[in-house]
């Protein structure tokens, strides 16, 4: 059993990375071999629309043809048994690096056939983790839920299933007084970091065990 976590945040020690580490810790407890990959450590671009992955009989059919630093990561992700994807929400969507990764990772497996049938060889258990500074109720106000559902749906279509974990109202800075961020209550943010974020970490740990354990992952929010 191999579990890979992809960190789509530029921060290696903050909210998203911490949640991924908890998920991997649980996977390791279940006996899985684990690895955490930070996308911002690598130089790569999104899909270049070459369509080599769609060319019938082509040498790159069903896989991304671009040979750069993301290529071995795509291979690792495709060969894993469990994949955790973590990203902060920037301007209502995944970070640029995570979006580029998803373009390159997913597109080769989706065919231009009725229903966009997947040709992924097997089944991959996927956990999709989002972190964001808005509150849980504002997820619906800003239509984030529709964005998350779209990504979750595509991952489920390609790989068979995708669990969704949302971590809201996150603590962005260790000292809010240093940044222009007056729309936030710094003390409330700090309190939530101390009281609620540990619960989010627990949920991430439980997700890791669920996807790595003997049962099937089921899409939940």
DSSP string computed for 116-149: --B--SS-EEEEEEEE-SS-TTHHHHTTHHHHHH
Quick one: pLDDT at residue 213?
A: 85
pLDDT at 57: 92
What do you get for the CA distance between the two ends of the chain, in Å?
25
Q: Which domain holds residue 28?
A: 2-212
How confident is the model at residue 219, as a pLDDT?
37
In a domain, 220, yes or no: no
Q: What is the pLDDT of residue 189?
A: 87
User: Against a cut of 0.85, is the pTM above it?
Assistant: yes
Mean pLDDT of 135-140: 91
pLDDT at 62 over 90: yes
Average pLDDT value over all residues in the chain: 92
Report if residue 189 sits inside a domain.
yes
Specify if 147 maps to a domain: yes
Q: Tell me if 219 is assigned to some domain.
A: no
Q: Is residue 218 part of a domain?
A: no
Residue 205 lies in a domain: yes
Residues 6+ apart with CB under 8 A from 138: 144, 168
Tokens of 174: 């260790």
pLDDT tops 90 at residue 221: no
Q: Note the pLDDT of residue 76.
A: 96
> Any idea what the CATH number is for the domain that residue 103 is in?
3.40.50.360
Sorted by sequence, the CB contacts under 8 Å of residue 153 that are 6+ apart come out as: 162
Lowest mean pLDDT: which of 20-24, 70-74, 180-184?
180-184
Give a yes or no: residue 114 inside a domain.
yes
Total domains in the fold of the chain: 1
Helix (H, G, I), strand (E, B) or coil at 180: coil
pLDDT of residue 118: 95
Q: Answer yes or no: is 93 within a domain.
A: yes
Give the pLDDT confidence of 110-128 residue by residue, as tens digits: 999 998 999 999 889 999 9
Count of Cβ atoms closer than 10 Å to residue 69 Cβ: 11
């Amino acid at each position: 059993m191999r579990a890979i976590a992809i960190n789509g945040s530029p921060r290696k020690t903050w909210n998203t990375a911490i949640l991924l580490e908890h998920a991997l810790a649980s996977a390791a407890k279940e006996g899985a071999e684990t690895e955490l990959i930070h996308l911002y450590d690598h130089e790569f671009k999104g899909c270049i629309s070459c369509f080599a992955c769609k060319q019938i009989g082509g040498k790159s059919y069903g896989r991304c043809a671009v040979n750069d630093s993301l290529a071995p990561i795509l291979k690792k992700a495709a060969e894993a048994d469990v994949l955790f994807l973590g990203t902060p929400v920037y301007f209502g969507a995944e970070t640029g690096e995570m979006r580029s990764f998803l373009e390159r990772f997913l597109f080769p497996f989706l065919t231009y056939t009725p229903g966009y049938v997947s040709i992924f060889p097997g089944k991959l258990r996927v956990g999709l983790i989002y972190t964001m500074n808005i509150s849980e109720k504002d997820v619906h106000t800003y239509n984030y839920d529709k964005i998350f559902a779209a990504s979750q749906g595509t991952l489920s279509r390609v790989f068979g299933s995708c669990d969704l974990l949302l971590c809201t109202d996150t603590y962005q800075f260790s000292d809010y007084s240093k940044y222009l961020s007056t729309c936030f209550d710094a003390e409330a943010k700090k309190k939530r970091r101390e009281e609620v974020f540990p619960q989010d970490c627990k949920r991430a740990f439980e997700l890791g065990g669920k996807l790595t354990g003997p049962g099937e992952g089921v899409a939940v929010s």
